Amino acid sequence: MTTETEPIRERLRPRIVKTGETGRLDLDLTAVGEPRLAPPPRRFPSPLAVALTGLGILVAGVAGIDLVQFVDGAFAHGTSVGVLAAVTVAAGAGGAAYWLVAELRGLMRLRSVERLRRLIPSALSGELKQEIDAAAAILARDPLLGEAVMSYRAVIEPHHTGHDALELFARFVLAPADGLAQAAIRRAATQAFAINAISPTVLLDTLLFAVRAMRLIREIAEIYGQRPGLAGTVHLLRRLVGGAGLVGAVDVVGGVIAQQLGGAVLERLSAGAAESAYAAQKMARLGLVATALCRPIEFRPGEAPSLAGLVSGLWKSHTNG
Amino acid sequence: MRPLRFDRLPILTGLLHDRNVRLAVTGLSGSGKTAFITSLVGNVLSAVGRPARLPFLRAAAERRIIAARLSAPEGQTVAPFPVRDTIAALAADPPRWPPSTTDLRRADLSLRFTPAGFIGRAAGGTAKLGVEILDYPGEWLLDLPLLAQSFRDWSRTTLDLARRGARAPLARDWLDFLARHPADGAADPEAARQAHDLYRAFLAACRTQEQLSLLQPGRFLNPGQITDTSLLWFCPMPFAVGGRVREGRMAALMEARFEAYKRVVVQPFFSRLARGVDRQIVLVDVLRTLNAGTEAFADQRLALETILAAFRFGRRSLLRLLFGARVDRVLFAATKADHVPALQRDHLEALMANLVAVPTLQAQRAHARVAATALASIRCTEDGTDVIDGRKVDIVIGLPAGGERRIHFFPGIVPVTPPPEGFWGERFTEFPVFQPPRIERAAGNGVPHINLDKALDFLLGDALA
């Protein structure tokens, strides 16, 4: 960027350039078209990825040969048995291929969002607008947020700067998405409370908690346009390891508080109710960490939701409802 | 115990949220006051059907503005702002800029909206916001400091300024005349009038030829409706050091008129203006003076500081001391932001913020808010790129007023702080005037703009919450 410290000789002075273009400008509100994501930079695959790909090909090859032999053997027993075997194998292979494609698409969406998260904080004003358009393109596929993205595209104008676009995107798209995520967290926390309260054994309680937590993470990822499959969920869980450390810390702090207050307050509550409330709190914390990780644009200072906000939201939703 | 009447809750919403805001709009000549008010009215009236025009005004973006209308001003003390005429000028073919502000005018907007707060939502119902917009020439603000100055002090300061820099050659005729009619000469009303005419011509030349801004008294170039124009027939006089003003002398005549001007013209105006003014927007054409050269820029800065002295917050504010005004939000807006491409707009905003940095700190201490922005009330250009001297640069594209072919305008580099000595080169005097976009006569589609919605959110956002 040219700055005022540049010598006068080199600095361009104001200038008017006449053109042959005629007619008024069309300055009416214009809708922004759906942008395409730029291809990610080419990277060399990791040794593990090469090994896993090789193993995958081996398994697929062995399974394929087995299936061919299976169909061939079936035809040896008669044409009708052979056709039935071929149709069965084709249906199975089709299902597997569909699942594989869905997995890959989910994983690609996840990667796109992660790339945006990396690029947006350091993007220049012009680039920022393109990155936000790309984030809007991802969220536009979400049936819950499609309308919000349309509202964003209706208000964004060519003269808006990258920071304007970020502000409008946060206001029109991310705010409703955050609202949906918080609603999902509140639902999961309420259910965690109930699970803990009615669960007869600790093992079952832990199992049900884990299942509900997994569902919550996937729900939040879906809200932010990621829709992860099995591979995507594994990928998300890997990213959540850092966040889980945070939840673990909350556990420790919560345990200390419970010990300190045990005599004074918790004695007055039934032990079960206190544990259930604690389970709900853990679920909510996990949801908040997942929200922070899945959001295509990181929270700005003071924007991230808090447990207190969730509780007040719970009360508001009950009173509004 | 009487049961709670839930059907009364909407009335409670009204009691909690109904309010009136008095917004004063000012700016030095040519800064775009008329365009600002026209665009404000046009866009707010269209906010119900076309909220996308004002995405940064929260109430509009959240579709909480239910109705908006222009109401007839109550009483006849202030002339109404000619909204119909200004919109007709922009709706003409080809569209043209409406005539500029020459007197105090007023427009009243009435908005009905749904409150955003939890209590308002829970209670249901809608609230009403009355916005009274006052439009007056910014030069008149330069008269406010005169109220705290004596004729002798004002004369000394003004003459010092007139003898320096770009003002000196323009002031020659007037100063020669004063040399022939000294302060201790016999009072001559005809000579006093001639001195006034020469001083006024000097001020006019300062404005048109040198783009200077600190031109006092403000009414000399923009008199407005003054019934007795003889009140203006004075000018600064050179006083001998330690000399006294004696009765029947020229200086005494000038001083008497100066004091009468303050008492009859300046004081009643600010008394009327300050009563109940909550919000103030000061429009500044920073770009034009930046291109007009170092002296024009420095002079605008001085004029701005003089205006800011009036808005000094806290107990020492002149407006508060004299008239009890309580302006709690002031927005300084660098206008014509559509004359620079997007990235430079951030620079323009930063430059404006730097020019008003000190009063912003003072305001924060007094729990008031001052902000700076860059805006174009009516956007006439679109961004583009061009190659100039072998370098690819961002430019703006527009149709010049009265022209048929579009131009590419490269505005130079806008500095983010008041520029150092090495910045200034040759003056650029061909600052383009672009043709405004043609708008619909009936409100509905709004007016294209840049950052008008941000300005409105700062000025009215809390009242629409």
pLDDT along chain B (465 residues), means of 10: 51 66 85 92 88 89 89 74 88 87 86 80 78 87 88 93 93 94 89 95 93 91 84 90 78 93 90 77 89 87 78 58 69 93 89 82 71 93 89 91 89 86 75 87 80 94 89
- With 0-12 / 13-18 / 19 or more C-beta atoms within 10 angstroms meaning exposed / middle / buried, residue B367 is exposed
In this complex, the residue of A12, A27, A163 whose CB is nearest that of residue B410 is: A12
CB–CB contact A22 B122 (8 Å) = no
One-character DSSP codes across A155-177: H--TT--HHHHHHHHIIIIIHHH
Identify the residue among B6, B344, B405 best suited for mutation to test binding to A, counting A beta carbons within 10 A and taking the highest: B405
Spell out the CATH class of B6-140+277-381+435-460.
alpha beta
Centre a 10 Å sphere on the Cβ of residue A300 and count the other Cβ atoms it contains: 10
User: Looking at residue A314, what is its pLDDT?
Assistant: 57
The upper half-sphere exposure of residue B419, i.e. CA atoms within 13 Å in the direction of its Cβ, equals: 28
User: Looking at residue A167, what is its pLDDT?
Assistant: 87
- Tell me, rounded to whole angstroms, the distance of Cα B365 from its chain centroid: 24
Nearest Cα residue to B445 out of A156, A28, A190, A221:
A28
Predicted-complex ipTM score: 0.74
Question: How big is the A-B interface in CB pairs under 8 Å?
Answer: 126
In this complex, the residue of A16, A22, A156 whose CB is nearest that of residue B409 is: A16
Q: Can you say whether the dihedral through the CA atoms of B59, B61, B63, B65 is positive or negative?
A: positive
User: Looking at residue B397, what is its pLDDT?
Assistant: 93
Cα angle value B158/B164/B170 (rounded, 5°): 85
Q: Which residues of A have a CB under 8 Å from any CB of B? A: 1-4, 6-8, 11-25, 27-29, 125-126, 154-156, 158-161, 163-164, 167-168, 171-172, 316, 319-320
CB–CB contact A23 B399 (8 Å) = yes
Identify the bridge partners of residue B134 per DSSP, sorted by sequence position.
B24, B106
In this complex, the residue of B56, B386, B397 whose CB is nearest that of residue A25 is: B397
Nearest Cα residue to B77 out of B275, B215, B218, B240:
B275
DSSP label at B328? -
CB–CB contact A27 B56 (8 Å) = no
Centre a 10 Å sphere on the Cβ of residue B163 and count the other Cβ atoms it contains: 12
Taking a C-beta distance cutoff of 8 angstroms, is the pair B159, B238 a contact?
A: yes
What is the value of pTM for the model shown?
0.76
Centre a 10 Å sphere on the Cβ of residue B242 and count the other Cβ atoms it contains: 5
Helices (H), A120-229: 125-140, 146-155, 162-169, 175-198, 202-223
Nearest Cα residue to A296 out of A132, A149, A185:
A132
User: Looking at residue B356, what is its pLDDT?
Assistant: 82
- Residues in B touching A175 (Cβ below 8 Å): none
DSSP label at B415? P
In this complex, the residue of A4, A16, A320 whose CB is nearest that of residue B415 is: A4
In this complex, the residue of B412, B431, B437 whose CB is nearest that of residue A12 is: B412
Taking a C-beta distance cutoff of 8 angstroms, is the pair A220, A240 a contact?
A: no
CB–CB contact A14 B399 (8 Å) = no
CA distances (Å), origin B326, targets B311, B313, B372: 10, 9, 19
Residue in chain A closest to B118 (alpha carbons) equals A316
CB–CB contact A159 B393 (8 Å) = no
Nearest Cα residue to B265 out of B152, B153, B136, B134:
B136
Give the DSSP H/E element, type plus range, for residue B208.
helix B189-210
CA–CA separation, A219 and A202 (whole Å): 25
The upper half-sphere exposure of residue A153, i.e. CA atoms within 13 Å in the direction of its Cβ, equals: 19
Centre a 10 Å sphere on the Cβ of residue B150 and count the other Cβ atoms it contains: 12
User: Which two structure tokens, joined as six digits, stand for B430?
Assistant: 């061909």
Centre a 10 Å sphere on the Cβ of residue B315 and count the other Cβ atoms it contains: 8
CB–CB contact B435 A24 (8 Å) = yes
Residue in chain A closest to B381 (alpha carbons) equals A25
Domain limits of chain B? 6-140+277-381+435-460, 142-271
Interstrand relation of B279-284 and B329-334 (parallel, antiparallel or unpaired): parallel
Identify the bridge partners of residue B397 per DSSP, sorted by sequence position.
B382, B408
- Residues in B touching A167 (Cβ below 8 Å): 56
- Residues in B touching A164 (Cβ below 8 Å): 56
Q: How far does A291 lie from chain B, in Å, by closest CA?
A: 24
Identify the bridge partners of residue B392 per DSSP, sorted by sequence position.
B387
CB–CB contact A21 B345 (8 Å) = no
CA–CA separation, B355 and B349 (whole Å): 10
Interstrand relation of B329-334 and B369-374 (parallel, antiparallel or unpaired): parallel
Place of tokens 């080169």: B425
Question: Beta strands of B88-167 (E only): which ranges?
Answer: 105-113, 127-135
Residue in chain A closest to B435 (alpha carbons) equals A24
- Residues in A touching B398 (Cβ below 8 Å): 25
Identify the bridge partners of residue B112 per DSSP, sorted by sequence position.
B67, B128
Taking a C-beta distance cutoff of 8 angstroms, is the pair A79, A201 a contact?
A: no
Q: How far does A35 lie from chain B, in Å, by closest CA?
A: 19
Q: How far does B415 lie from chain A, in Å, by closest CA?
A: 6
CB–CB contact A27 B345 (8 Å) = no
Angle (deg, nearest 10), helices A47-76 and A79-119: 160
The answer, yes or no, to whether the previous bond of B217 is cis (omega within 30 of 0) is yes
What value does the CA radius of gyration of chain A take, rounded to a whole number of Å?
Answer: 27
CA–CA separation, B72 and B442 (whole Å): 17
User: Looking at residue A98, what is its pLDDT?
Assistant: 87
Taking a C-beta distance cutoff of 8 angstroms, is the pair A218, A228 a contact?
A: yes
Taking a C-beta distance cutoff of 8 angstroms, is the pair B399, B413 a contact?
A: no
- Residues in A touching B438 (Cβ below 8 Å): 24
- Tell me, rounded to whole angstroms, the distance of Cα A207 from its chain centroid: 24
Stated length of chain B: 465
CB–CB contact A12 B398 (8 Å) = no
What value does the CA radius of gyration of chain B take, rounded to a whole number of Å?
Answer: 24
User: Which two structure tokens, joined as six digits, stand for B182?
Assistant: 């000294």
Q: Which residues of chain A have pLDDT under 50?
A: 1-9, 31-41, 246, 249, 252-253, 256-257, 259-263, 266, 319-321
Taking a C-beta distance cutoff of 8 angstroms, is the pair B109, B456 a contact?
A: no
- Residues in B touching A3 (Cβ below 8 Å): 413, 415
- Residues in B touching A19 (Cβ below 8 Å): 397, 405-408
CA–CA separation, B346 and B379 (whole Å): 16
- Residues in B touching A156 (Cβ below 8 Å): 55
Taking a C-beta distance cutoff of 8 angstroms, is the pair B448, B379 a contact?
A: yes
Q: How far does A301 lie from chain B, in Å, by closest CA?
A: 20
CB–CB contact B417 A4 (8 Å) = yes
- With 0-12 / 13-18 / 19 or more C-beta atoms within 10 angstroms meaning exposed / middle / buried, residue A3 is exposed
Describe the strand order of the beta sheet including B405-410 as a list of residue ranges: A15-22, B405-410, B391-398, B382-388
